Amino acid sequence: MANNRTFTMLKPDSIENGNIGNIISMITEAGFSIKAMKFTRLSEQQAKEFYAVHSERPFYNELVEYMTSGPIIAAILEKNNAVEDFRTLIGNTDPSLAEKNTIRAKYAESKGRNAVHGSDSDENARIESEFHFSSSEIF
């Protein structure tokens, strides 16, 4: 996969709070195009595997419980410099520290219920995309 793609999830709080449309508009208005997208719900096993890197952190169980609490939207996005530009668009993990007009400043509730995920490297973008999508689902 080219290094101008990133992977995102709209987390359960975004769906619960009715923010799907507003967040997708912010993403496309920022110049990202959607290469794959699905509405789904993570199983406990999938959430544990996806966040395995955090398994020793004190918030791991809470994170898995939250990410399986309702549906999510998973997507692959394309743009020049996608990974870095998307992390700028979403803002700090902690919404109280996120820059104004970022997705998390506008829509996240807390550090845990923080509206969106964005890959932190090209390598993780590829791994995370392949975790959620088969090649026939990517356009």
The question of whether 54 is a catalytic residue gets the answer no
Q: Give 16 or 62: the residue with its C-beta nearer to ligand CMP.
A: 62
- Which residue stretch of 15-23, 35-43, 107-115, 131-139 sits at the interface with ligand CMP (rule: CB under 6 A)? 107-115
CA distance linking residue 35 with residue 6, whole number of Å: 10
Output the smallest distance, CB 7 to ligand CMP, in A: 10
Q: Is 63 in the site for ligand CMP (CB under 6 A)?
A: yes
Output the smallest distance, CB 136 to ligand CMP, in A: 26
Backbone φ and ψ for 116, nearest 5 degrees, come out as -145, 155
Backbone φ and ψ for 86, nearest 5 degrees, come out as -70, -35
**Long-range contacts of residues 45-54, Cβ cutoff 8 Å, at least 24 apart:** 46/131, 49/131, 50/128, 50/131
Q: Is 112 in the site for ligand CMP (CB under 6 A)?
A: yes
Q: Is 111 in the site for ligand CMP (CB under 6 A)?
A: yes
Q: Is 59 in the site for ligand CMP (CB under 6 A)?
A: yes
Q: Is 39 in the site for ligand CMP (CB under 6 A)?
A: no
Q: Give 59 or 139: the residue with its C-beta nearer to ligand CMP.
A: 59
CA distance linking residue 9 with residue 11, whole number of Å: 6
CA distance linking residue 12 with residue 110, whole number of Å: 13
Is there a contact between 14 and 24 (Cβ–Cβ < 8 Å)?
no
Residues involved in catalysis: 117
